[in-house]
Structure 1
């Protein structure tokens, strides 16, 4: 049971260090990431919990439309401009093909 607790603390520490490195200055309250990493590593349970509290409060306070909010990557098939360019390219390449016909392999 004690080994499980140690592994959980190590996992939380590794997660928080990676999260600090990937965070923005706004999410870190303007503090240099090295200072956060030192706090997380040298104060085993309180450091990661402090980081998670700060990160959670900054990300939820910012809202989903703020510039500091993490952006989700979208695929090109979610972009209507990209899809229309694909259709235009396909029509130019084979002007006799109908839009309902599957592409020739």
Structure 2
């Protein structure tokens, strides 16, 4: 029973890989031509599919990181007016607390 499940999982992965290579636009395929990827996935089912996912599949666009702070947020303590006022009071010796 376990062998049948493993076989079905491998078949599903192989079919997914073939379908993914075929439906990927030619100009988005990475590293080698699309026809070579199809041949690799068909001839070497498990390894070809894994290599396709790792090295051939197009990368998703990424968001820039880190995200800059919003317009109302101070970037650091020295940009916070409240912090600077408190610091100035403490340096002048006006700290009542």
The two structures have a TM-score, normalised by structure 2, of: 0.52
Unaligned runs of 5+ in 1: 66-105
Partner of 2:55: 54
1:11-66 Cα distance to aligned partner (Å, 9 max, x none): 1111111111111234322633222111112112111111111255x413xx158x
Give the distance between the partners of 1:14 and 1:32, measured in 2 at CA. Answer: 20
Partner of 1:40: 41
Give the distance between the partners of 1:4 and 1:21, measured in 2 at CA. Answer: 26
Give the distance between the partners of 2:31 and 2:55, measured in 1 at CA. Answer: 12
Give the distance between the partners of 2:43 and 2:6, measured in 1 at CA. Answer: 17
The two structures have a TM-score, normalised by structure 1, of: 0.49
Greater relative CO (CA pairs within 8 A, separation 6+): 2
* 17-26 or 2-11, larger mean C-alpha shift: 17-26
Q: How does 1:15-34 map to 2 (within 5 A)?
A: 15-29=16-30, 31-34=32-35
How much is the aligned-residue C-alpha RMSD, in angstroms? 2.3
Quick check: 2:41–2:49 contact (8 Å CA) kept in 1?
yes
Q: How does 1:1-105 map to 2 (within 5 A)?
A: 1-29=2-30, 31-55=32-56, 58-60=58-60, 63=61
Q: How many residues align?
A: 62
